[in-house]
């Protein structure tokens, strides 16, 4: 295997892995030798993903974890330590979108749900991953932000607020733990054809959304996961504090 993408023996925890980016990343890491603890609020869904991965011979544990609950995030990290002895890779991927609406219509309940899952969920994951990585003397964390975390997102202000906060956590974590050899980065995808998008946008809407990108189309999940793998590569040892847009050129406009 190309050493750039050889994850043999690496232990990864991934949140939100019942579908979308989390599922595909789990499958790709398992193919490259990683041992996995995958979690989701959708317990049946994440077990189904794990069963398919286990059938390939890879080592994988699945569990329910609602990332808005600190104790459940701790339990996920504890499960990885118990089963595999360490946590080399933490991927804080679970997240929710919200219905498009003007900022002045967004109420406190919607703000709270975005904050609970998309912000606190990432910090809860990071805090337990980092505590373990400090003991190990190394580790890699990848947070999933969004293009909405790098700029304004019309009619998506609560989501944009939350994804900007993920970037604050990512950069601050990188600054605090750089000397501990814990690298922390974020990926910022443009609209991509996971269930998060396909569940609300039909083909006509997707093609309209795609026109917002210079490449004139939405992203494919495998295109985002390819960058996730590169950012997590054990050979990629000097990248930290970066929030990388994978966006068909949107950020160049
Ligand atoms: N698809 C896109 O266009 C896009 C673009 C930018 C960023 N993102 C981000 O990528 C990440 C993954 O999204 P996706 O596109 O794969 O979406 P998705 O909806 O297909 O998958 C998200 C997963 O997170 C899980 N989840 C939701 N709430 C949870 C909670 N409280 N605790 C644990 N798991 C929970 C869901 O059950 C689901 O399995 C999210 O953070 C999302 O905001 C997506």
Q: Are 67 and 16 in contact (CB under 8 A)?
A: yes
Does this model's pTM top 0.85? My answer is yes
Q: How far is the CA of 191 from the centre of ligand 1 (A)?
A: 12
Q: From the CB of 159, is ligand 1 less than 6 Å away?
A: no
Which parts of the chain sit beneath pLDDT 70?
A: none
Closest to 10 measured CA to CA, from 67, 53, 60, 73: 60
What pLDDT, on a 0 to 100 scale, did the predictor assign at position 1? 83
Q: From the CB of 196, is ligand 1 less than 6 Å away?
A: yes
What pLDDT, on a 0 to 100 scale, did the predictor assign at position 3? 86
What pLDDT, on a 0 to 100 scale, did the predictor assign at position 79? 98
Catalytic site residue 159?
A: yes
CATH of 3-190+224-246, one of 3.40.30.10, 3.40.50.720, 1.10.340.30, 3.30.70.980: 3.40.50.720
Q: How do the domains of the chain map onto residue ranges?
A: 3-190+224-246
Backbone angles phi, psi at 191, to 5 degrees: -50, 130
Tokens of 184: 């922390």
Q: How far is the CA of 8 from the centre of ligand 1 (A)?
A: 26
Q: What long-range pairs does 49-58 form, CB within 8 A, spacing at least 24? A: 49/17, 49/18, 49/19, 49/23, 52/27, 53/26, 53/27, 56/30, 56/31, 58/30, 58/31, 58/34
Q: What angle do CA 182, 188, 192 make, to 5 degrees?
A: 135
What pLDDT, on a 0 to 100 scale, did the predictor assign at position 143? 99
Q: How far is the CA of 16 from the centre of ligand 1 (A)?
A: 6
Q: Which residue in 7, 159, 177, 190 is the catalytic one?
A: 159
Length of the chain: 253
Q: Ligand 1 pocket check: which of 16, 169, 191, 206 to mutate, most ligand atoms within 8 Å of Cβ?
A: 16
Which residues on adjacent β-strands are paired with residue 156?
Answer: 101
């Amino acid at each position: 295997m190309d050493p750039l993408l050889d994850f043999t023996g690496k232990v990864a925890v991934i949140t939100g892995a019942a579908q979308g980016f989390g599922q595909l990343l789990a499958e790709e890491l398992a193919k490259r030798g990683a041992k996995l603890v995958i979690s989701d609020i959708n317990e049946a869904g994440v077990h189904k993903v794990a069963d398919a991965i286990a059938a390939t011979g890879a080592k994988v544990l699945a569990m329910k974890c609602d990332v808005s609950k600190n104790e459940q995030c701790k339990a996920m990290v504890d499960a990885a330590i118990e089963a595999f002895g360490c946590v080399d890779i933490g991927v804080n991927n679970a997240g929710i979108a919200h219905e498009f609406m003007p900022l002045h219509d967004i109420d406190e309940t919607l703000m709270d749900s975005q904050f609970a899952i998309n912000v606190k969920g990432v910090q809860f994951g990071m805090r337990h991953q980092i505590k373990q990585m400090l003991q190990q003397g190394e580790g890699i964390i990848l947070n999933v932000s969004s293009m909405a975390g790098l700029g304004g997102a019309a009619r998506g202000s609560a989501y944009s607020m939350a994804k900007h906060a993920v970037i604050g956590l990512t950069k601050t974590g990188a600054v605090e733990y750089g000397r501990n050899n814990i690298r922390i980065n974020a990926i910022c995808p443009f609209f991509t054809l996971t269930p998060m998008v396909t569940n609300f946008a039909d083909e006509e809407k997707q093609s309209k959304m795609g026109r917002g990108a210079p490449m004139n189309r939405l992203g494919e999940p495998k295109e985002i996961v390819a960058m996730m793998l590169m950012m997590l590569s054990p050979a990629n040892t000097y990248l930290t504090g970066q929030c990388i847009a994978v966006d068909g050129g949107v950020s160049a406009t």
